[in-house]
Amino acid sequence: MIHSDTVTCFFPLSRLCKRGLWPDPILSPNRLPCGECPGVTGRPAEQGSVQILKGIDRGKQGLVCAIIRERNWCYVEGLNCSYKWVNRSASSPGFMSKVEKPLLVTTEVSLLDPSDLQPTEIEWRYDEDGNRVRVSSRSGRVVPMSERADNESEDMIDKGAYIEQSWDTKEKELTKVTFKPKAVTFEADIMESMGIKEDRKRAPNFYY
């Protein structure tokens, strides 16, 4: 996924429907597919400079400033903009508004290869320490992720600065291994745990 250096936008689907950015499930039963989730193999992922592949600013590079996950959209800072006059009248000149337009993460932007700063597809791989990293498919170089992308959760909370609350599940409980694998079927494991005894044997089946 592409992670913003400034803000990550999460619009409820009801607001998207009202703004005409998402088909209403009642008025339009055939929903638009959300597309492949950003962050899978070959797609732009968390943070980094990107290059625009389509539109009036094709070929320009910039930083992602916001994303909308529901539509696979991203906004590149200062690029792919529309301009319009605001509050313009006979008595007031108004002012010019510059608004960044969304770009599709899957087809309209691409991450950059650190070796030559050119667009590249990426793959998710594991390094020698077992960490999951992004790797350029063309050169094999690791595409680094920003420190903020690593330390910030999806709801924009800094993991390092978060203070554990009484309602949070403790880390000790999360890391406790409670599953003990056995060489039995799922059904037999449930029956054993519930004290159900079954001595009957299944009759042989013959298929022709």
Beta strand 132-136 pairing with 73-76: unpaired
The model's pLDDT over 58-73, given as tens digits with 9 standing for 90+, comes to 999 998 888 888 899 9
For residue 9, pLDDT over 50 is answered with no
Domain that holds residue 77: 13-162
Q: Domain count of the chain?
A: 1
Please check whether residue 177 lies inside any domain of the structure. no
For residue 181, pLDDT over 90 is answered with no
The model's pLDDT over 114-152, given as tens digits with 9 standing for 90+, comes to 888 899 998 999 999 888 999 999 988 998 877 767 777
Please check whether residue 116 lies inside any domain of the structure. yes
For residue 75, pLDDT over 50 is answered with yes
Q: What is the pTM of this model?
A: 0.55
Q: At 131, which CATH number?
A: 2.30.30.30
pLDDT band at 11 (very low <50, low <70, confident <90, very high): very low
- DSSP-derived secondary structure for 59-120: T-EEEEEEEEGGGTEEEETT-SEEEEEES--SS---EEEEEEPPEETTTTEEEB-TTT--B-
